[in-house]
Amino acid sequence: MNTIVILAGTHWQQVSPVVFTRHNRSDEWCQVLCSKAHADGAFLTFERESARISVPLAAVVAVAEIEEAKPMGFRD
């Protein structure tokens, strides 16, 4: 199962354009595809490859677990 995390703001791409990519449906959002994500206090922590990255929970627009074979409109 993959997880998509959508974040408010395009400034996340300045942190890492490899990890944070622009969302196809909104120029004001970035997205991250990761293996899993969980909220802990004021942060959302997600795992991508061998890295664990935390972002402020207030920056999160949506988190969705998606199956590879079933597009749900969260990403194109």
Task: Return averaged pLDDT per consecutive 10 residues of the chain, 76 residues in all.
Answer: 89 90 87 92 93 95 81 58
**Residue 49: how many CB atoms within 10 A of its CB?**
7
pLDDT at 56: 96
Q: What is the CA radius of gyration of the chain?
A: 12
pTM above 0.85, yes or no: no
Asked whether 23 and 30 are in contact (CB, 8 A), the reply is yes
